[in-house]
């Protein structure tokens, strides 16, 4: 794992609780801030952000919501900073890994996507990142070449990234092929199904299923011993009680994509267009499922990160 000396740089503004945990080798889970600014509307977005942080705490780890403000990386947002991001909403810049330098130079408020959160967490010495859904290979990527920076960031960082697979609007099969090509292990936590965000199944399997956080920590540790090995991806499906019907979602996506083509919606706007259409079809159920996924993956990440930190400290497994 990276040396935490990097956080002594003036570029980093580290919350005291996070700094103390990193120095002592205690579990810390990094969280993206983009979902707070762009994933939900205010004031509900702040409530969800607090719930996600609480899920990490309940799992025995320290939450570190990451953002950019005043030309610095925020490693663990204070209650006031979290509220500022939630209040700013869509006026806060969405920051991917390629936007980091621009966001720092501008001095404005930036909400980090998964790729940016991974890049910053890795530099700060945080070992585990939690996110609801990973970006992936888009449908039709054979001609559009539309592939999320999240996937390539997995190859550049050395982390454990916990998520609920990829959104149903993406191509799960091609995403898994891409991950295999770049050597990213895909571990299913207590499920061998590769999930599709608010659906428990995508029709594809993970590389391996492991049911113990300690087992995942051990495998991740061995993988990360190799130079240039990249991150480990861990998938954890949404709880069954909160999951949406896959066939219904697939039908809604098909209709939305056809409509987007008719209306000549292109580029990044397609994702937003389709997600809003799906939320309308489900009568808002997709939004509720989004919240459930965020909390579930945060809790799973805290369990895995707690096991990793204990393993590094030499604490015996309680199994």
- Annotated binding-site positions for Mn(2+): 146
Q: Please state, in angstroms and rounded to a whole number, the distance separating the CA atoms of residues 190 and 168.
A: 20
Whether 32 is catalytic = yes
CA angle 238, 243, 249 (to 5 degrees): 120
Annotated binding site: 94, 146, 148-150
Residue pair 163/290 in contact (Cβ under 8 Å)? The answer is no
Task: Name the catalytic one among 32, 81, 153, 193.
Answer: 32
Q: Please state, in angstroms and rounded to a whole number, the distance separating the CA atoms of residues 72 and 100.
A: 10
CB-facing half-sphere around the CA of 299: CA atoms within 13 A: 13
Annotated binding site for substrate: 94, 148-150
Instruction: Decide: helix, strand or coil at residue 73.
Output: strand
Token pair in block for residue 243: 């999951």
Say which residues have a Cβ less than 8 Å from residue 54's Cβ, sequence separation at least 6: none
**Region at 57 (left for phi over 0; alpha for psi -120 to 50; beta for the rest):** alpha
Task: Name the catalytic one among 81, 167, 193, 305.
Answer: 167
Residue found under tokens 């954890």:
236
Kindly give the pairing relationship between strand 186-189 and strand 208-210. Answer: parallel
Residues marked active site are found at 32, 167
């Amino acid at each position: 794992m990276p040396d935490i000396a990097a956080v002594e740089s003036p570029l980093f503004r580290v919350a005291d609780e996070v700094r103390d945990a990193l120095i002592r080798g205690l579990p810390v889970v990094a969280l993206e801030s983009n979902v707070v600014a762009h994933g939900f509307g205010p004031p509900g977005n702040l409530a969800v952000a607090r719930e996600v942080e609480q899920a990490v705490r309940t799992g025995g780890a320290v939450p570190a919501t990451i953002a950019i403000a005043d030309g610095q990386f925020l490693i663990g947002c204070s209650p006031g900073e979290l509220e500022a991001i939630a209040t700013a909403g869509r006026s806060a810049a969405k920051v991917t890994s390629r936007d980091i330098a621009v966001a720092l130079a501008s001095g404005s408020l930036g909400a980090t996507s998964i790729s940016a959160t991974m890049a910053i967490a890795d530099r700060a010495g945080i070992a585990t990142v939690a996110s609801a859904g990973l970006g992936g290979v888009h449908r039709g990527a054979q001609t559009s070449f539309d592939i999320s920076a999240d996937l390539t960031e997995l190859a550049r960082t050395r982390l454990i990234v916990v998520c609920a697979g990829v959104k149903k609007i993406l191509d799960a099969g091609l995403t898994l092929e891409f991950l295999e090509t770049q050597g990213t292990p895909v571990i299913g936590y207590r499920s061998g199904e590769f999930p599709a965000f608010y659906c428990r199944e995508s029709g594809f399997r993970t590389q391996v299923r492991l049911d113990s956080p300690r087992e995942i920590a051990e495998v991740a540790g061995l993988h990360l011993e190799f130079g240039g090995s990249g991150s480990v991806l861990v998938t954890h499906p949404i709880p069954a009680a909160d999951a949406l019907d896959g066939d219904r979602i697939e039908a809604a996506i098909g209709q939305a994509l056809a409509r987007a083509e008719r209306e000549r919606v292109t580029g990044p706007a397609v994702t937003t267009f389709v997600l809003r259409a799906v939320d309308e079809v489900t009568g808002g159920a997709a939004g509720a499922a989004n919240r459930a996924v965020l909390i579930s993956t945060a809790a799973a990440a805290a369990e895995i990160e707690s096991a990793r930190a204990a393993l590094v400290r030499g604490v015996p497994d309680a199994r």
